[in-house]
Amino acid sequence: MKKRLISSYDEINDTFVGKVDGEKGYCADYGISEGVYLGINSSNLPTSVFVPNASEVFNISKETLESADVKINIDCDELCLSFDMCIENSKICSIKCKNNFGIPKMKCLIDSNI
């Protein structure tokens, strides 16, 4: 499944937000790693990503976070959630955690360039 990502970065507050285009609201936010939060809708599908202190969490420059070329890949089954984020084709984040969130089996690319 492919979806369009709308991303924004607030340099003053060092906050990254990525939202799936067309999705409204969320049912829950889950911390999938230290400082990375995944918003889930009522169907348990990912709708947004929120990262406060993003330059520290990702250990990259604020200038890099301002790029509009962002891709997020989510691969999930009943046991495990994999989350990868790339900016300008460079992987800045790779998270693997237990799927304690009720997210169904899925593979999804959320891309700012779709």
pLDDT digits (tens, 9 = 90+) for 21-75: 988 777 888 999 999 999 998 888 889 999 999 999 999 999 999 998 999 999 9
Burial label, 54 (beta-carbon count in 10 A; 0-12, 13-18, 19+): buried
Distance between CA atoms of 63 and 55, rounded to whole angstroms?
A: 9
Is residue 83 within 8 A of residue 98, CB to CB? The reply is: no
Find all residues with CB under 8 Å of 1, minimum gap 6, and list them.
Answer: 106, 107, 108, 109
Report residue 112 as tokens: 């700012």
